Structure 1
Amino acid sequence: MRAHHEPLEGTYTGMRAHHELLEGTHTGMRAHHELFEGTYTGMRAHHEPLEGTYTGMRAHHELLEGTYTGMRAHHEPNEGTYTGMRAHHEPLEGTYTGMRAHHELLEGTYTGMRAHHEPNEGTYTGMRAHHELLEGTHTGMRAHYELFEGTYTGMRAHHEPLEGTYTGMRAHHELLEGTYTGMRAHHEPNEGTYTGMRAHHKPNEGTYTGMRVHHELLKGIYTGMRAHHELLEGTYTGMRAHHEPNEGTYTGIRAHHEPLEGTYTGMRAHHEPLEGTYTGMRAHHEPNEGTYTGMRVHH
């Protein structure tokens, strides 16, 4: 790990805290205010431009011009290929796979979730939260107050029952009794097969692939990201933000305050105990009782 204000011109595996330039290959997490011109695998927190290949999460205020796989939080433009989540206020001109939270423009191919206030002119696969226009193909979630003129396969925002096959994300207060592929935002029970993201306060009794934000129980297979306050008892692949215990297999990033009892591959930010196999970075205040490959910052 190199803490901050540090340039890097070679190969970096771990975490660079913030205000850091990277011109080679980076595997891990760079916190914020960081430029990237090569290949990045991990998480960059916010205020970070990216011109190469990015795999992981960039928090917000981040430019992306190459290939992005993971999550970018908000205020982030994307001009290349994006796979993961971008939170809000983010324009996208290339291919987007994941989640963009809200206030985001999309002109190319979008696969994942866009939260709300987002127009879409190309192909959208994932979730758009609410107040979003869609003129192309949408597979995912559109939260509420959303117009659709093309093909929509994804999420209906809230207070919506579903009895058939649903592909995408339904935002909150939504029951699902069939097959769900995508993201449901919060307060949603799931009794069938769920592929995507459920935001928070949602129990899941089947197969879940995607992201559940917080306050969500999972008893099956979870692949994606759960933000915080989420229990996991099966297989988890992706990112869980914070306050989340994990008892199965976890591949991705959990932000902070998260215990892990299985296999963890990725990054957990801080205040997280780990009892299994951890490959990646845990930021600080984290005990580790298993196998740790990567970096833990302090405390």
Structure 2
Amino acid sequence: MQLLDGKIASKAVKEKLQQQVNEIVSSGKRAPHLAVILVGNNGASETYVASKVKTCGEIGFKSTMIRLDVTVSEEGLLQEIIKLNQDEALDGILVQLPLPKHISEQKVIATIAPEKDVDGFHPISAGNLMLGIPSFIPATPYGIMLMLEHYNIETKGKHAVVIGRSNIVGRPMSVLLSGNNQYGNCTVTLCHSHTHNLKELCLEADIIVAALGKPEFVHADMVKDGAILIDVGITRVADATKKSGYSIKGDVAFSEVAPKTSFITPVPGGVGLMTIAGLLKNTLKAYELRTK
């Protein structure tokens, strides 16, 4: 069993990005600029946004964080996005999800200018991904592909089972793994809550991507020897033994599954770090497209 370490893989991506930013700035141009909008004070969202802003600083990106009260109206948030769309010194816009229930995530995503959609959620980005047209890839699936590339994981001809069909991870992940590219060319089965023979499908899988948000859902009896496990889940579970009062759990029961695998991602320290790497690569791409 080899650990697919997000710290190592993301460090390699960040070092490359930092080198590219240094070259841009030394040539007299401005650095790429990412804006992040945070609505309310959700603890997990606060952590994610802080990590994104910190990483921007580490590699030389400029970042702007916009905090809005949880009571902000949908129209108020949309107007804030429109202002950012019109800012020529800004390359990428990210609205941290989830949003309060009175705000439509679909309207928010559709309002972001497609050329600044570094989260890869806009319908145009999703359509281009489906058609195989170069576009912004949702950050988590993109990060997973970057991890496969970093560790040079052979995927061609393998059977991949993706558990979870969200537009953020599951669906785009199935498209990327089935695509005609170096770390794709898999035969993909996309599973969800209504899949009857999930265990049997998983036992046939060479690669399992668990992205359903249920802590320790995938157990050893669902995994064949030598499989590759990509754990996208990250759930806070109450734990009185921890100072914080909770533990972070993935969708895979790591301790029992890991010995059966050839490669596996840890939680934390795996896909989450690669998500930020994917986001920053999208931001640099947006900058390059906008400043040509």
Q: Considering the TM-score relative to the shorter chain, is it more than 0.5?
A: no
Where is the strand percentage greater, Structure 1 or Structure 2? 1
TM-score normalised according to structure 2 size: 0.32
Higher relative contact order (CA 8 A, sep 6+): 2
Higher helix share: 2
TM-score (norm 1): 0.31
Which structure would you say has the larger Rg?
Answer: 2
